[in-house]
């Protein structure tokens, strides 16, 4: 029948009447769908219909979300970690076995009859080591399978754990710094440990990603800082696409929100280089070019606007100013004095027992009869050798030093054997610190560093100590060059005040009392020596031997008094230098505090970085009409308090008014 006749269907591929044709790779009307997570663009049309096993969703049905890719650490995590654990166990077994073997030989035992048993024991030990190393390798392999990180749209995630799963969330806007550390063995294989610090202070641990390929670490660092910059810009009200384009122009990283404009902006981003400055920069450049066995190709991490290194003179002074070298020299001198005293005492008194007499006779023959001079010379030579080794070690640790301003972050790397790289966003810099030790003050040099928020380190004590010192951007620089470095590295600190308000005039008298008497090293050391001398003269029997002992005690006490007098004078001189070199200043945006003495430290920090400030007085200060000014910043682990003692009451009150929100602003 004509009424029941069905209308003819259109050919396959043509739209039916009343329906609009949708591209094969486009969602239906109202259907949300994710763009490509890498390019940010919709999927390219393929010209082919969907496969039959994946039918198109119904109208309004969302596309399944695409998760960001997982990035595993380098496979050297398995075998290199196993080798290190096996080497440590082999060393322990070797030392214990060798000590037992030497002890057996010392007892007169022979190994001729026990050779089969000995071989059996050695075989069992080797088999046990192989078994343990195999178990360690198995554990490392399982850990490797579950250790990876994901760069998500809003945060960085680190996954780890075989049985107890752990996931660490790091929002991009909370990233403080991204550092790299590589031991000598890691440098040979081109891997490193990436440490991501957040603004968590002492309550947070730094997020560490171990055994990351060098090129992958560089790419990760660039990506994290780019996403941090984007998140900060969007949080401040910038449009997402505009912020992504700005990030692409600055760092060369194209975020999904940038689109084609980001690709064009990233094409203009690039890095700048700089020639070596000292003799150790050439080997460091070779290390950088070689990049290790699995280092991969170099990654463009952004445009460098300012860069510098160390000259040969600065590198040498850095090694000479090492505190370890100075301590070793002092210990060597004290050891020589102790050696001289221990050798002279029995010679002068004639109380030499037969064993010591034979030892002195033999030593006298070996050293030409001058035993005292030989002992002192030996101690001084050992101290000098240790000093030279300390200088060389310090110079090698700063070999290849390079500091630069790259986009919105500051990067510092150093280390010829063990490489250290630190990168911190400029908005996380809390202060600029200029330190001058006594030697540096005499030469007109200083150590320049930046205070930043540090997370508690999970590594060695050396790493913890390096964190507590802040980010050293120059270990030994001339004072006249500091403004140039700050202008190129952190131009945001260009408005630091220059004119300083000194402490109160009465602070000199209080400093002499405080440093010379209350905290005086020389005075209290003299008191201790006097108590010891009085007790010795009271309890030692004054016979022939006792008189000799008392003679040396009293002689040593008078020498100690002379040393105490020198220390007392130095304490007083330090008090005068503190009074002349201490003060504070502030203007509309910055504050600066200087504390002098034989060593001098000047800290400059923005007003907006001050968490809180206060003044404090004790009864003696209230009588002298002075106060202690304290400002708290978030620098370091758990924060840092910068204080200045004995400021005039009027100056302290004016500073508190300046510190109040919307308080008085000094132009």
Domain ranges of the chain: 72-145, 150-310+398-489, 318-397, 495-503+582-659, 509-573
DSSP letters for 519-566: S-HHHHHHHHHHHHHHHHHHHS--SHHHHHHHHHHHHHHHHHHHHHHH
- Tell the residue number behind the tokens 């969602």, with chain if given: 27
Residue 248 has pLDDT above 50, yes or no: yes
Contact 522, 515 (CB under 8 A): no
Question: Which of 274-278, 457-461, 636-640 shows the lowest mean pLDDT across its residues?
Answer: 457-461
How many other β-carbons are positioned within 10 Å of the β-carbon of residue 80?
20
User: Binning pLDDT at 50, 70 and 90, where does residue 80 land?
Assistant: confident
Instruction: Locate 33 and state its tokens.
Output: 């769908």
pLDDT class for 652, splitting at 50, 70, 90? very high
550 against 56, higher pLDDT: 550
Mean pLDDT, range 648-666, rounded to an integer? 80
**Does the pLDDT value for residue 108 go beyond 90?**
no
Average pLDDT score over the chain = 78
If you average pLDDT over residues 655-660, what whole number do you get? 90
Q: What is the pTM for the complete model shown?
A: 0.75
Q: How high is the pLDDT of residue 36?
A: 46
Greatest mean pLDDT range, 195-209, 282-296, 448-462: 282-296
pLDDT at 174: 87
What SS3 string covers 7-51?
CCCCCCCCCCCCCCCCCCCCCCCCCCCCCCCCCCCCCCCCCCCCC
Euclidean distance between CA atoms 244 and 221, whole angstroms = 17
d(CA 568, CA 450): 34
Specify the DSSP element, H or E, that contains 325: helix 323-349
Tokens for 496?
């630091």
How much is the pLDDT for 32? 44
| CA gap 645, 314 in Å, rounded | 34
List of residues 6+ apart from 66 with CB closer than 8 A: 34, 37
Among 113-122, 225-234, 336-345, 657-666, top mean pLDDT goes to: 225-234
Q: d(Cα 47, Cα 105) in Å, to the nearest integer?
A: 84
- The DSSP call for residue 386 is H
Helices 544-581 and 521-539 cross at an angle (nearest 10°) of 170
Identify the three-state secondary structure at position 293: coil
For the chain, percent of residues with pLDDT exceeding 90: 38
Task: Specify the pLDDT at position 501.
Answer: 92
Task: Please give the average per-residue pLDDT across 83-93, as a whole number.
Answer: 79
| Order of strands, sheet of 445-452, starting from the edge strand that comes earlier in the sequence | 471-478, 445-452, 429-436, 600-606, 590-595, 583-586, 501-502
Length of the chain: 667
Beta-bridged to residue 429, according to DSSP, are: 452
Are the C-beta atoms of 640 and 451 separated by less than 8 Å?
yes
What is the pLDDT averaged over residues 597-621? 93
Q: How confident is the model at residue 361 (pLDDT cuts 50, 70, 90)?
A: low
Query: How much is the pLDDT for 550?
Result: 87
- Helix or strand or coil: residue 98? helix
Over 90: is that where the pLDDT of 506 sits?
yes
pLDDT of residue 448: 95
pLDDT, residue 67, reads 77
Instruction: Report CA 231 to chain centroid distance, whole Å.
Output: 26
Q: Does 429 have pLDDT greater than 70?
A: yes
pLDDT of residue 96: 75
Q: Rounded to the nearest 5°, which phi and psi values hold at 567? A: -65, -35
CA distances from 574 to 183, 491, 512, 567, 648 (A): 41, 34, 9, 10, 21
Helix, strand or coil, per DSSP, at residue 307: strand
Sheet holding 70-72, edge to edge: 70-72, 148-151, 155-160, 166-171
**Which region among 293-297, 333-337, 393-397, 399-403 has the lowest average model confidence (pLDDT)?**
333-337
Q: Report the 10 Å Cβ neighbour count for 148.
A: 16
Tell me what pLDDT residue 104 has. 66
Query: What one-character-per-residue DSSP string does 458-501 give?
Result: SS-HHHHHHHHT-EEEEEEEEGGGHHHHHHHH-GGGTT---S-E
Strand partners, 644: 629
The listed range with the strongest mean pLDDT (256-265, 364-373, 511-520) is 511-520
Say whether 434 sits in a helix, a strand or coil.
strand
Residue 348 binned pLDDT confidence (cut-offs 50, 70, 90) = very low
User: Where residue 467 falls among pLDDT bands split at 50, 70, 90?
Assistant: very low
Helix/strand/coil for 197: strand
Q: Tokens for 547?
A: 């008189």
* 657-662 LR contacts (CB < 8 Å, sep 24+): 658/586, 659/607, 659/610, 659/613, 659/631
Cα–Cα distance between 274 and 561 in angstroms, integer? 56
């Amino acid at each position: 029948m004509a009424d029941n006749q069905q209308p003819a269907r259109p050919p396959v591929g043509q739209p039916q009447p009343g329906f609009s044709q949708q591209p094969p790779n486009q969602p239906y009307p109202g259907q949300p769908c994710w763009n490509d997570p890498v390019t940010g663009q919709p999927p390219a049309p393929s010209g082919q219909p969907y496969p039959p096993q994946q039918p198109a969703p119904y109208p309004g049905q969302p596309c399944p979300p695409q998760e960001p890719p997982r990035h595993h650490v380098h496979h050297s995590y398995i075998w290199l970690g196993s080798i290190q654990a096996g080497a440590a166990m082999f060393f322990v077994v070797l030392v214990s076995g060798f000590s037992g073997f030497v002890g057996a030989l010392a007892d007169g035992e022979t190994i001729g009859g026990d050779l089969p048993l000995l071989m059996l024991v050695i075989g069992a030990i080797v088999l046990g080591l192989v078994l343990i190393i195999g178990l360690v390798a198995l554990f490392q392999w399982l850990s490797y399978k579950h250790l990876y990180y994901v760069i998500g749209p809003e945060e960085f995630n680190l996954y780890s754990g075989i049985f107890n799963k752990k996931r660490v969330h790091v929002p991009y806007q909370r990233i403080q710094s991204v550092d790299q550390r590589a031991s000598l063995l890691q440098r040979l294989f081109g891997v490193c440990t990436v440490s991501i610090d957040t603004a968590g202070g002492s309550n947070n641990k730094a997020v560490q990603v171990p055994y990351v390929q060098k090129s992958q670490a560089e790419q990760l660092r660039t990506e994290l800082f780019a996403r941090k910059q984007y998140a900060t810009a969007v949080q401040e009200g910038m449009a997402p696409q505009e912020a992504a384009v700005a990030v692409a122009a600055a760092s060369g990283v194209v975020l999904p929100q940038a689109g084609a404009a980001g690709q064009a902006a990233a094409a203009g981003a690039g890095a700048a280089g700089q020639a070596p400055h000292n003799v150790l920069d050439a080997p460091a450049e070779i290390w950088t070019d070689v990049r290790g066995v699995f280092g991969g190709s170099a990654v463009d991490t952004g445009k460098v606007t300012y860069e510098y290194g160390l000259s040969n003179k600065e590198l040498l002074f850095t090694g000479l100013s090492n505190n370890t070298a100075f301590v070793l020299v002092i210990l060597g001198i004290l050891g020589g004095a102790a050696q001289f005293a221990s050798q002279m005492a029995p010679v002068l008194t004639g109380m030499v027992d037969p064993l010591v007499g034979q030892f002195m006779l033999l030593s006298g023959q070996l050293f030409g009869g001058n035993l005292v001079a030989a002992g002192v010379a030996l101690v001084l030579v050992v101290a000098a050798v240790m000093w030279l080794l300390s200088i060389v070690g310090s110079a090698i640790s700063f070999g290849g030093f390079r500091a630069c301003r790259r986009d919105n972050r500051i990067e510092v790397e150093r280390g010829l054997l063990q490489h250290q790289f630190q990168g911190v966003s400029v908005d996380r810099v809390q202060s600029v610190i200029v330190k001058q030790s006594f030697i540096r003050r005499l030469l007109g040099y200083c150590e320049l560093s930046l205070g930043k928020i540090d997370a508690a380190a999970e590594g060695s004590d050396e790493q913890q100590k390096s964190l507590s010192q802040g980010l050293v951007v120059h270990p030994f620089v001339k004072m006249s060059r500091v403004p140039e470095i700050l202008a190129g590295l952190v131009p945001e600190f260009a408005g630091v005040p220059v004119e300083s308000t000194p402490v109160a005039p009465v602070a000199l008298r209080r400093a002499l009392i405080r440093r010379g008497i209350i905290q005086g090293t020389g005075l209290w050391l003299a008191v201790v020596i006097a108590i010891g001398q009085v007790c010795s003269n009271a309890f030692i029997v004054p016979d022939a031997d006792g008189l000799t002992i008392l003679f040396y005690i009293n002689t040593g006490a008078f020498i100690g008094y002379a040393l105490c007098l020198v220390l007392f004078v130095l304490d007083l001189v330090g008090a005068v230098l503190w009074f002349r070199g201490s003060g504070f200043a502030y203007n509309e945006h910055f504050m600066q505090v200087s504390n002098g003495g034989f060593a001098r430290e000047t800290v400059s920090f923005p007003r907006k970085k001050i968490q809180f400030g206060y003044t404090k007085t004790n009864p003696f200060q209230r009588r002298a009409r002075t106060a202690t000014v304290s400002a708290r910043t978030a620098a370091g682990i758990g924060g840092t308090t910068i204080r200045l003692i004995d400021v005039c009451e009027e100056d302290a009150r004016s500073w508190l008014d300046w510190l109040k929100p919307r308080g008085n602003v000094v132009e």
